[in-house]
């Protein structure tokens, strides 16, 4: 019963074994074709592409820098000339800060999920393949689960100080158990299939079998898990920064923007509404795309 | 069964000990001298020496760990640097608030989640399913602390329907107590409801295509009876585990929700402690969370294996 608290969806059943590379093109093309035939997948995919471009190009796209203050125009409403989405209590341009905040959100999410995959995939492979270490890794997973990400972040902030990097580590560690779980169960499944047995009989080393036969076939479950982990990480970053445990002001973050907007919320509600909508849009497009990907990878083919 | 219980109990105990080791080492990883950190304002050599001997910092690490564990087991969680109050006392006043908030959130999330999940499964391919699925996706994607801010802004401040912040103890005035907790628990429940909805729907879909449901239909039972007595009953097992597994998310969520609605609970204690560098409180908070997570998950496992004998069998085989 070890599941990441934020990621407890049933794991997708991936395609049957593609065997090593080569023949993988067939199923992969089928997945892409299914995605292209799903309007929700196309729409969320487009939003994602735009969001990532915005994240990368934010410093160029933003009309102002994040810290440029205009004390002559504080708490300006949206539509104010020169400030499309208005300004905050220090007269900083909300649109610019949202664009740069999205960049920070995506950066933390990518760092967290890369950490989670980097730690979780090897552990999951080893746990599923070698029965001897399965117990040890399961206890390790239980241990990680016992520290919810916020409590982990609290501990990290106490020991190492609050920062973007520590927020990403806390979120990433919290996601490791989810990755271990799906990779472990997929490794167990793949291990029992004939093509792995054939490789073993053929004299392949354990490392070769894991890297060449098991890992390539486990990529689809990792991919699906990652599409759930990214939006969870985006929400996690917002929470931590909101509480002051993540990105530190004045650096732009959607979470710190909400924290700063709270005292002025009655006078300037747009400041408290728009960063939240940006977070939701990001998370929603990842979640919708992740769902579509899960469906497209489901060999039973039916939407469920 | 006994063997399964013994294995799970042993595993939980082991995890508990490991968690204590992590927290213990975490304190030692604090920047600088832990005695300095624990001392707070009073940094005279005498005070530092007193702290060193009180916390056994002059002993070897294993001895220190043993002393640490025995103190914790006795319920001695140290003294807050900021208030001078025993940490266990602070927890005793804060925990009931969080417990009540979380229980209300679980009840709301389960009612909403199961209902929406059943509707989505039974009305498959119809507008009802799309609405339920869409709401679940939004529930998963919306930052619920932001939802809390918006709710305060548009429901509490603008209409005065609900109090925007504060707390009244249950024993003092049950009606005012619930009134203060309606918004926070609905907000906290949204994310959990979305997860429960998706799992309920998924297991209902499995159940509805299972042979026993077809049998029930074939022998002429009314659809309502088939859905509630047969399919839903089997699907509900999932909900029990989900709540256990989502506990970590619920704890994290409660911390933020309390912060927004300024409820004097566990979360507020935690965040205040971080910003005041109140290390004994931080340490207690981390340890209590880990312990309750492990204990509750053990309890959920037990409950699960009582409800569903298949788990026991699988557990023994593993």
Instruction: Tell me the pLDDT tens digit for each residue of A26-41.
Output: 677 888 888 888 888 8
Burial label, B140 (beta-carbon count in 10 A; 0-12, 13-18, 19+): buried
Contacts of A258 in chain B (CB under 8 A): 143, 145-146, 149
> Contact B289/A151, CB-based, under 8 Å?
yes
Q: Which of B15, B247, B274 sits opposite A142 (nearest CB)?
A: B15
| Residues A179-208: b if buried by 16+ CB within 10 A, e if exposed | bbbbbbbbbbbbbeeeebeebeeeeeeeee
Band of pLDDT at residue B310, cut at 50, 70 and 90 = low
Among the partner-chain residues A146, A155, A261, the one whose CB lies closest to the CB of B294 is: A146
Query: pLDDT at position A10, please?
Result: 41
- How many C-beta atoms surround the C-beta of residue B84 within 10 A? 8
Asked if B31's CB is within 8 angstroms of A151's CB, the reply is no
**Average pLDDT of chain B to the nearest whole number:** 83
- Give CA–CA dist B231/B226, Å, rounded: 6
The pLDDT of residue B206? 84
Considering only CA atoms, which of B150, B272, B26, B181 is closest in space to residue A243?
A: B272
Is A19 a residue whose pLDDT tops 60? Answer: no
Rg of the Cα atoms in chain A: 22
pLDDT band with cut points at 50, 70 and 90 for residue A172: very high
Report pLDDT for B25.
85
Phi and psi at A63, nearest 5°, equal: -65, -25
Instruction: Name B15's Cβ contacts closer than 8 Å, sequence gap at least 6.
Output: A139, A142, A143, A146, B294
Tens of pLDDT along B124-139? Answer: 888 888 999 999 999 9
Weakest mean pLDDT among A1-10, A65-74, A275-284, B62-71: A1-10
Inter-chain contact A148–B289, Cβ cutoff 8 Å?
Answer: yes
Contact B38, B280 (CB under 8 A): yes
- C-alpha to C-alpha distances, A73 to A21, A99, A214, B151, nearest whole angstrom: 59, 20, 59, 27
Distance CA A162, CA A156 (A): 7
The structural domains of chain A, ordered by start, are 19-297 (1.10.3720.10)
CA distances from B123 to A39, B127, B300 (A): 21, 8, 31
- Three-state SS for chain B is CHHHHHHHHHHHHHHHHHHHHHHHHHHHCCCCCHHHHHHCCCCCHHHHHHHHHHCCCCCCHHHHHHHHHHHHHCCCCCECCCCCCEHHHHHHHHHHHHHHHHHHHHHHHHHHHHHHHHHHHHCCCCHHHHHHHHHHHHHHHCCHHHHHHHHHHHHHHCCCCCCCCCCCCCCCCHHHHHHHHHHHHHHHHHHHHHHHHHHHHHHHHHHHCCHHHHHHHHCCCCHHHHHHHHHHHHHHHHHHHHHHHCHHHHHHHHHHHHHHHCCCCHHHHHHHHHHCCCHHHHHHHHHHHHHHHHHHHHHHHHHHHHHCHHHHHHHHHC
Of B141, B149, B249, the CB nearest to A5: B249
Looking up tokens 């190009």 gives: A57
Q: In 3D, which of A85, A241, A143 has the Cα closest to residue B14?
A: A143
Positive or negative torsion for Cα A134, A135, A138, A140: negative
| Over residues A156-165, mean pLDDT | 86
Distances (CA, A) of B193 to A303, B29, B117, B138, B196: 22, 38, 10, 11, 5
What's the pLDDT score for residue A4?
39
**pLDDT surpasses 70 at B40:** no
| Contacts within 8 Å (CB) and 24+ apart, A194-199 | A195/A17, A195/A19
The Cα-based distances of B219 to B50, B113, B208, B210, B234 in angstroms read 78, 30, 15, 15, 19
In a 3-state reduction of DSSP, which class is residue A78? Answer: coil
- Averaged over A137-154, what is the pLDDT? 88
Q: Is the pLDDT of residue A177 over 60?
A: yes
Reported as a pLDDT band with limits 50, 70 and 90, residue A201 is confident
The more confident residue out of A16 and B63 is: B63
Closest approach of chain B CAs to the CA of A123, in angstroms? 18
| pLDDT mean over B22-39 | 74
- Residues A211 and B144: their CA atoms lie apart, in Å, by 40
Chain length of chain B = 318
Cβ distance of A258 and B146 shorter than 8 Å: yes
Q: Do B145 and A239 touch (CB under 8 A)?
A: yes
Report how many Cβ contacts below 8 Å link chain A to chain B: 167
More confident residue, B8 or B171: B8
CB A128 within 8 A of CB A188: yes
Q: Residue B128: CB partners within 8 Å, gap ≥ 6?
A: B119, B120
User: How much of chain B exceeds pLDDT 70, in percent?
Assistant: 92
Residue matched to tokens 């989900």: B242
pLDDT band at A16 (very low <50, low <70, confident <90, very high): very low
How far is B292 from A139, CA to CA, in rounded Å? 17
Instruction: Bin B129: left if φ > 0, else alpha if -120 < ψ < 50, else beta.
Output: alpha
Return phi, psi of residue B79, to 5°. -120, 135
A145, A238, A245: residue with CB nearest B143: A238
Q: What is residue B311's predicted lDDT score, i.e. its pLDDT?
A: 59
Task: For B158, name the nearest residue in chain A, comparing CA atoms only.
Answer: A266
Domains of chain B plus CATH, in order, are: 2-73 (no CATH), 92-308 (1.10.3720.10)
Say if residue A27 is exposed, middle or buried (CB neighbours under 10 Å; 0-12, 13-18, 19+).
middle
- Contact list in A for residue B31 (CB cut-off 8 A) is 159-160
SS3 label, residue A87: strand
Report the interhelical angle of B174-208 vs B233-245 (nearest 10°): 120
Interface test with B, best of A105, A145, A149, A151 (most B CBs within 10 A): A151
Q: Do residues B213 and B226 lie in contact, with contact meaning Cβ atoms separated by under 8 Å?
A: yes
Top pLDDT among A267 and A137 is at A137
Under DSSP, is residue A133 helix (H, G, I), strand (E, B) or coil?
Answer: helix
Crossing angle, helix B279-307 and helix A131-145, to 10 degrees? 120
Q: A303: phi > 0 → left, psi -120 to 50 → alpha, else beta; which?
A: beta
Lowest mean pLDDT among A147-151, A178-182, B229-233: B229-233
CB-neighbour burial class of residue B317 (10 A; exposed 0-12, middle 13-18, buried 19+): exposed
Q: What is the pLDDT of residues B82-117, one digit of tens each?
A: 788 899 999 999 999 999 999 999 999 999 999 999
User: Which chain B residues have a beta carbon less than 8 Å from that of A274?
Assistant: none
Tens-place pLDDT, residues A265-290: 778 888 889 999 999 999 999 999 99
Percent of chain B with pLDDT over 90: 18
Separation between Cα atoms, residue A18 and residue A42, nearest integer Å? 25
Asked if B281 contacts B87 with a C-beta cutoff of 8 angstroms, the reply is yes
């Amino acid at each position: 019963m070890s599941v990441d608290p934020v990621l407890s969806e049933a794991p997708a059943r991936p395609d049957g074994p593609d065997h090593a590379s080569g023949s993988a093109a067939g199923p992969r093309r089928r997945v892409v074709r299914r995605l292209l035939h799903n309007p929700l997948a196309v729409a969320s995919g487009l939003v994602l592409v735009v969001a990532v471009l915005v994240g990368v190009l934010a410093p160029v796209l933003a009309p102002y820098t994040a810290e440029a203050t205009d004390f002559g125009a504080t708490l300006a409403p949206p539509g104010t000339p020169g400030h499309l989405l208005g300004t905050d209590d220090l007269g900083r341009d909300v649109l610019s800060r949202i664009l740069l905040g999205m960049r920070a959100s995506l950066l933390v999410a990518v760092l967290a999920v890369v950490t989670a995959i980097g730690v979780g995939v090897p552990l999951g492979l080893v746990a599923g393949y070698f029965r001897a270490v399965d117990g040890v890794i399961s206890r390790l997973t239980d241990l990680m689960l016992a520290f919810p990400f916020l409590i982990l972040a609290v501990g990290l902030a106490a020991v190492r100080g609050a920062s973007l990097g520590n927020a990403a580590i806390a979120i990433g560690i919290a996601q490791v158990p989810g990755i271990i779980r799906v990779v472990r169960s997929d490794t167990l499944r793949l291990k029992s299939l004939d093509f792995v047995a054939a490789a073993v009989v053929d004299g392949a080393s354990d490392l070769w079998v894991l890297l060449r036969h098991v890992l390539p076939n486990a990529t689809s479950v990792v991919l699906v898990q990652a599409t759930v982990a990214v939006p969870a990480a985006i929400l996690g970053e917002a929470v931590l920064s909101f509480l002051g445990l993540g990105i530190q002001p004045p650096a732009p973050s959607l979470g710190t923007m909400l924290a700063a907007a709270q005292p002025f919320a009655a006078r300037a509600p747009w400041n408290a509404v728009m960063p939240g909508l940006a977070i939701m849009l990001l998370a929603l497009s990842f979640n919708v795309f992740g769902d579509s990907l899960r469906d497209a990878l489901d060999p039973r083919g039916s939407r469920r | 069964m006994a063997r399964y219980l013994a294995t799970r109990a042993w595993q939980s105990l082991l995890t508990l000990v490991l968690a204590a080791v992590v927290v213990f080492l975490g304190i030692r990883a604090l920047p600088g001298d832990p005695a300095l950190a624990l001392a707070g304002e009073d940094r005279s050599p005498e005070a530092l020496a007193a702290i060193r001997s009180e916390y056994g910092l002059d002993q070897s690490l294993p001895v220190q760990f043993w002393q640490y564990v025995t103190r914790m087991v006795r319920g001695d969680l140290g003294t807050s640097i900021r208030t001078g109050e025993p940490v266990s006392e602070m927890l005793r006043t804060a925990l009931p608030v969080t417990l009540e908030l979380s229980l209300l959130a679980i009840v709301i999330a389960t009612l909403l989640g199961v209902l929406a999940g059943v509707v989505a499964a039974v009305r498959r391919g119809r507008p009802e399913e799309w609405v339920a699925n869409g709401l679940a996706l939004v529930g998963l994607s919306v930052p619920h602390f932001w939802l809390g801010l918006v709710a305060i802004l548009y429901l509490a401040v603008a209409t005065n329907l609900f109090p925007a912040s504060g707390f009244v103890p249950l024993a003092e005035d049950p009606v005012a107590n619930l009134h203060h907790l309606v918004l926070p628990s609905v907000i906290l429940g949204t994310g959990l409801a979305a997860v429960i909805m998706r799992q309920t729907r998924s297991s209902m879909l499995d159940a509805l295509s299972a042979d026993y449901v077809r049998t029930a239909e074939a022998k002429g039972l009314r659809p309502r009876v088939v859905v509630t007595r047969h399919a839903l009953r089997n699907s509900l097992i999932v909900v029990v585990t989900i709540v256990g597994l989502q506990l970590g998310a619920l704890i994290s969520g409660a911390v933020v929700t309390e912060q927004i609605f300024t409820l004097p609970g566990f979360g507020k204690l935690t965040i205040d402690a971080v910003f005041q560098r109140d290390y004994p409180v931080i340490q207690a908070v981390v340890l209590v969370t880990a312990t309750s997570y492990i204990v509750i998950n053990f309890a959920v496992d037990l409950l699960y294996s009582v409800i569903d004998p298949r788990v026991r069998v699988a557990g023994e085989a593993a």
